[in-house]
Amino acid sequence: MAHKLHLYLQLIRWDRPAGWLLLLWPTLSALWVASHGFPGWHLITVFTLGTILMRSAGCCLNDVADRDFDRHVKRTAGRPVTRGAVGVREALLLGAVLALLAFGLVLTTNITTITWSFAALAVAVVYPYAKRFVAMPQAVLGVAFSFGIPMAFAAVQSRVPALAGWLLLGNLFWVIAYDTEYAMVDRDDDLKIGMKTSAITLGRFDVAAVLASYLIYLSIWAWALADIAQAAIYFVAIGIALAQALWHVWLIRGRAREACFRAFRLNHWLGFTVFAGIAMSYGFAGA
């Protein structure tokens, strides 16, 4: 049992929290904005645990979908499903259980959030296969990784206002930025096996596109939340996030595998910075 548990933890990337943190920070940001401050422990618990569970379920589905490709990629060849340590049906069952647990959390919110959760699930299921047909699958991932934003507004306000749409659009460009960095790590292997990624599609414009995506993301979020409670605090956070983005672009300028992977892994700090600016803005306003 201990060995099996270790394999399951490997499958859901338990030792790599950066993946669910990238989902969590924009979701918590949306919760704070929708609530005009602290949203309460119930919603924080629901969305934090739900984020971890759904990211883990997504890893199960992704590894099953990509098992024949992953064995040809240096970074992914050792994944449990790819090397046969965990069976396909077993991985899918684990993913289904995790998704059902996440849905159980959603059921404690309201009908609007529950309705949006079905759309979120549909996009999450489609994404692993987008890499076979879509030239920029990172855009599909961007939608999947941004669905916590409208769901957060739905949970707080029982509706999804236009502001949520703008924040989702901005966040989509952040996902394109960091997942292109991630794709740059595997570009050589992906070219050999015929996988479609933004790093391949963009070619020599990859670094410039990453920079542009960061700038669009931060610009949209700065504009959309310009009237936040304590704008000065928020814009300081946006400035710090911009400095981090520029550092990431500097890291990937030579397209070295380790440097690109490092830039990707550091992105959750950028997301945390934006969230911290939002949380402190409302916190100081209510003090």
> What is the DSSP annotation of 167-226?
HHHHHHHHHHHHHHHHHHHTHHHHHHHT---HHHHHGGGHHHHHHHHHHHHHHHHHHHTT
Distance CA 230, CA 286 (A): 10
Two tokens, residue 11: 């499958």
pLDDT at 76: 76
Nearest to 54 by CA among 151, 155, 175: 151
Decide if 178 contacts 267 (C-beta within 8 A).
Answer: yes
How is residue 59 written in tokens? 């890893």
Confidence band of 131 (pLDDT split at 50, 70, 90): confident
Q: State the pTM of this model.
A: 0.93
Q: Tell me the average pLDDT across 86-101.
A: 94
pLDDT at 47 over 60: yes
User: Cα–Cα distance between 115 and 100 in angstroms, integer?
Assistant: 15
Compute CA 118 distance to the chain's CA centroid, rounded to the nearest angstrom.
Answer: 18
Mention every residue, 6+ apart, whose C-beta is less than 8 A from residue 69. Answer: 193, 195
3-state helix, strand and coil shares in percent for the chain, rounded to the nearest 5: 80, 0, 20
Give the amino acid at 28.
L
For residue 255, is it left (φ>0), alpha (ψ between -120 and 50) or beta?
Answer: left
What percentage of residues in the chain have a pLDDT greater than 70? 99
**237-287 pLDDT tens trace:** 999 999 999 999 999 999 999 999 999 999 999 999 999 999 999 998 765
Domains and CATH numbers, the chain: 2-286 (1.10.357.140)
Cα separation, 83 vs 95, in Å, equals 18
Q: Is the pLDDT of residue 212 over 80?
A: yes
Rg, Å, the chain Cα set = 19
Q: How far is CA 257 from CA 2, 68, 73, 222, in A?
A: 34, 22, 13, 31
